[in-house]
Amino acid sequence: MDLKALSLRQTMLRNIYHLRKGLNRWTIPRYDLHPSPADGFLKSISIPPVQKTLVRLCHSEKQKDYSLPNSSWSPEMMDQYNKLTEMTKDGTWQRLTSYRNTLGHAPEKLLQKYNLKKDKSARLFLRNLDEEGKGFEYAMFVNKREKQLAGVFQFGPYLEGPPGCAHGGSIATVLDTILGVLAMSVACRVMTANLSINYKSPVPLGSVVIATSKLDRMEGRKVFLSGAMQSANRKTLHAEAAGLFIQLQKAPGDDGPSFL
């Protein structure tokens, strides 16, 4: 490599570094990926030599709420979502926002209290795919007064276990989520201690299910919950679950609810 080419490359890298410092959000995958409209990319730029890398620039300081409908949702998914949304009109139920990062919507006060830091490179397990409709599509609704949660889930083709059916681990993920999110709404910071699942009927890939959970009781820092997963028409019971969650030690002076 001659000195002129080396100088040009160094200048290019410095410019990229300064540009990066001025951006709110960057994604630099290790391999070539096609830009996804779901991520709101302005454009993609191919950086030549050293190694072939695709730099994808993202705009907008406001994070996308993935619990809102998108083009991958089936008519049945939309129908169930609309039915659950109807329950929010009198204020007893609340739709929960959903972001790619677990702490993406946590208030700064809570982050400071528990010494938590947002990691933009981290992804919530259920939101780890760029392409809409390939994995978990879902929206959850909570009733804090009655300590209940209801969610609509659509299983994408990348969740396959037995041919044509959802993997048992993906079903367990949904059940752990609906129990855990409700536990957080009751006891703030919790961790799963035990999750027991009875699988009743396979979940066909692409199908829509309704998953519900409720608080059974609390014993000190122990939070006991139960839940179920049914077909959208409520005629098929796919799985039942019981879970024990442990409330983590609170920060001094913290007696407030979860940030959910």
> Residue 65 catalytic?
no
Strands in 237-247's sheet, in edge-to-edge order, are 94-96, 136-143, 148-155, 208-219, 222-231, 237-247, 190-199
User: DSSP assignment of 54-78, as one string?
Assistant: EEEEE--SSPP-TTS--TT--HHHH
Task: Please give the backbone phi and psi of residue 43, each rounded to the nearest 5 degrees, phi first.
Answer: -170, 170
Strands (E), the chain: 26-27, 41-47, 53-58, 94-96, 136-143, 148-155, 190-199, 208-219, 222-231, 237-247
> Residue written as tokens 């409330």?
247
Number of helices (H) and strands (E), helices first, in the chain? 4, 10
Residue in 2, 79, 119, 176 annotated catalytic: 176
Query: Would you say 162 and 199 are in contact if contact means Cβ atoms under 8 Å apart?
Result: no
Q: Which two tokens stand for residue 194?
A: 């035990």
> Residue written as tokens 């083009």?
71
- Residues with active-site annotation: 176
